[in-house]
Chains A and B, each alone.
Chain A
Amino acid sequence: KAGVTQTPRYLIKTRGQQVTLSCSPISGHRSVSWYQQTPGQGLQFLFEYFSETQRNKGNFPGRFSGRQFSNSRSEMNVSTLELGDSALYLCASSLSDRSEQYFGPGTRLTVT
């Protein structure tokens, strides 16, 4: 069974631009969560989607948003990029809300 895939793997953007990252979960998984990893803050939860509904949200500004499609694929969007948004963005999928999450390889975003 294919794992979680994320595209693109690397991205360089300029301050003020917006970016969209994509995640395809493991087949059959309906829950998709997004995390941001930075050297200073570690792995921090952004939001979780289940059956196209945002079920949980972390403490990030409204510039960070996401959505989930009927096939469980998910996208996250960051608008008005700031230098501090440079990070590894990880997507994880799980079968249900009480099972382990499986992570994709991440998208490395660099904001200049």
Chain B
Amino acid sequence: DQQVKQNSPSLSVQEGRISILNCDYTNSMFDYFLWYKKYPAEGPTFLISISSIKDKNEDGRFTVFLNKSAKHLSLHIVPSQPGDSAVYFCAASGRSSNTGKLIFGQGTTLQVKP
């Protein structure tokens, strides 16, 4: 049972435009969500997170939106740059017994074309 889903395996956008990566989750106990970027042969790099008490969090070019009723979150990258080309993973964790355990989606490969 995949609790965190990234339904788009890949996304291609033009440099300077907006990239929108989507993620859905099924477990209502999740209350903390994160986005990571991963290059080949490297570990994931933390980008941005959001707690369930918020519906939006911004950090520079990166904004994460959380829609709890739809169990959906999205990552917006504006403007997109060629260096953003990587695999993006969303991850979720829940309270109490699940602390420290991140459940990851399958990833979306973003290609930003110059």
Which A residues contact B (CB, under 8 angstroms)? 4, 31, 33, 35, 42-45, 48, 50, 55-56, 58, 90, 92, 94, 97-98, 100-106, 108
Residue contact A50 to B100, C-beta cutoff 8 Å: yes
CB-contact partner of A104 in B43, B104, B105, under 8 A: B43
Q: A48-B101, A55-B100, A98-B32 are in contact. Are A43 and B89 (CB under 8 A)?
A: yes
Grouping DSSP codes into helix (H, G, I), strand (E, B) and loop, the A interface class, with mixed when no group exceeds half, is: strand
CB-contact partner of A90 in B34, B43, B91, B101, under 8 A: B43
In the assembled complex, B26 has its CB within 8 A of some CB on chain A: no
Residue contact B98 to A56, C-beta cutoff 8 Å: yes
Q: What are the interface flags for B68-99 relative to A under an 8 Å C-beta threshold, 1 for contact and 0 otherwise?
A: 00000000000000000000010100000111
Q: A56-B98, A98-B32 are in contact. Are A45 and B103 (CB under 8 A)?
A: yes
Residue contact B46 to A101, C-beta cutoff 8 Å: yes
Residue contact B102 to A45, C-beta cutoff 8 Å: yes
In the assembled complex, B63 has its CB within 8 A of some CB on chain A: no
Residue contact A103 to B43, C-beta cutoff 8 Å: yes
Shortest A5–chain B CB gap in Å is 10
Docked complex Cα distance between A56 and B36 (Å):
21
Known A35-B102, A55-B99, A97-B99; further 18 A-B contacts with Cβ < 8 A: A4-B43, A31-B100, A33-B100, A42-B104, A44-B104, A45-B101, A48-B100, A50-B100, A56-B99, A56-B100, A94-B100, A98-B99, A100-B46, A101-B34, A102-B46, A103-B43, A106-B42, A106-B43
Neighbouring A residues of B104 by C-beta, 8 Å: 35, 42-44
Shortest A92–chain B CB gap in Å is 8
Docked complex Cα distance between A41 and B104 (Å):
10
Which 4 residue pairs across A and B have the least CB separation, nearest first? A103-B43, A97-B99, A48-B100, A43-B104
Residue contact A33 to B101, C-beta cutoff 8 Å: yes
